[in-house]
Structure 1
Amino acid sequence: MDPIQRVASREVYRNPWMTVREDAVRRPDGSAGIYGVVDKPTYALIIPLDRDRLRLVEQFRYPLGLRRWEFPQGTAPDLAEVPPAELARRELREETGLRAAEMTELGQLDVAPGLTSQRGHVFLASGLTEGEPEREPEEQDMRTAWFSRSEVEKMISSGEITDAQTVAAYGMLLLHERG
């Protein structure tokens, strides 16, 4: 049995990328409470690796009011659930124009489990070929560039890369390579 039980739920907001719901809950001691949850579809994050170079994208992140460098990542449109490897290939092509001969799943990440149900799959993309990006309207300001590993590590250390999923995925890559 779950420590917290949902008694009732109501949707309070919806758009093409997420829904927000408020759940009436019962805690283990029997007391009542509420829980707000942001539901978003599963996302894929892709680490494009070519020898010692990593491909990042930079875009304006409206909630922060800042431009941020991160690994390509995203969800399918209209709250659709898409098989993770298919989604990873689509996001990689869409944001960078790259096509990968191989996609290796490195693991899963939970974005913010105290706030959202969203989970992500991290993929290592290799055997890359260049192509033209196929960006969505929200991504029209996106830039993309190759960085050496040492540059990426300096960007993480200096706070230039602050996207939690990117930092965690880079750690997953390092663990994967250690075997």
Structure 2
Amino acid sequence: MKNIATALVAAQKAFGPALKTSSNPHFKSRYADLAACVEAVIDALNANGIMLMQQNTECSDGVIVETVFLHESGEMLSSGKLHVPASKQDPQGYGSALTYARRYSLMAACGIAPEDDDGNAASRSSGAEDQAFEAQHLDALRDAAMEGLDALQAAFKAIPASPAKTRFWTKHQASLKGAAK
């Protein structure tokens, strides 16, 4: 357990927020989908020799998901099993339950949460803090983007986590990723 524990600590230091990039028109809300959750952690896990695996098992009323981390040393760590009932007993109901279970099992296992972009968070945000962050980092991140997506991701992950960083990424991610292509 020593190798995987050390590697997970190092990986967690580099995890980003699970960005709310999907929308639910029925509830008029945004959420971090499974892809956003994986994107927030996969590079840091892999860089530290950790493979992410999510095993799923059917059960009579839904799905069971277990998030497992496999380290290059051969050590393994399981998050435990999460049972999510299907809302409907059809393929769509089971698919939705599986996606939900994978997303929440991953977030719990990695200790990440969706970015906080509700009205209260927006009212707490500091315009001056955001301007200072942008002034300090935008040019360097644009330069990194010109070198490619890997360079952009590395440069962004090197910046310490903060609410201003999360708001900056939400605002500029499309243009920076576009420049990296």
Question: Same fold per TM (> 0.5)?
Answer: no
Larger RCO, structure (CA 8 Å, separation 6 or more): 1
TM-score (norm 2): 0.27
TM-score (norm 1): 0.27
Identify the structure with the greater helix proportion: 2
Identify the structure with the greater strand proportion: 1
